[in-house]
Amino acid sequence: MSKTWEEVLAGRLPLYGHRNWVVIADSAYPAQSSEGIETIVAGGDQITVLSKVFALLGECKHINPTIYTDQELNFVSEADAGGVTAYRGQLEQLLKGQNVRVLPHEEIISRLDRVGQMFRVLLIKTSMCIPYTSVFFELECGYWNAEAEKRLRASMKTSNGKRNTTKRKKRP
């Protein structure tokens, strides 16, 4: 019996950490050739799939996503892609309060290709037939952030890379 996309994602998330990605893609998204990019088909409505992905990610304490959307989505017209206005509204509601970055599609694809050469990417294709609607989740560490890393690096630099150790008393 083959697994559902939800079962595949739920099985991958405990393995994934910072630098892994999860992508929820429209139906025309290409199968990328980088070895680390695994593509599965969810079918179904993209907003429903995204909602389930958010729920599964919300259960993970070890990872926290930075979300990327395509800049082009803001310029797709209703005349060229019926339903895009409603989708943008639903997506806006779903992403409210999230860490979202908007970049040109090709820039995101290039990042994904580079990442897929060293780290795992799970790409989940939906039945969406509107262009530039893919949503990209770059997973970050859930219990460590950029500010903490910056302080750590500054501390290491000021101590010339030597570990700050304290001498322990010998036990009698």
pLDDT of res. 2: 82
Complete DSSP assignment for 108-139 = HHHHHHHHTTTS-EEEEE-S--STT--EEEEE
H or E element in which residue 21 lies: strand 21-25
Please name each of the domains of the chain with its CATH number.
5-158 (3.40.1650.10)
**The pLDDT of residue 168:** 57
Residues of the chain with pLDDT below 50 are: none
Total-model pTM = 0.87
d(CA 107, CA 94) in angstroms, rounded, equals 23
pLDDT at 33: 83
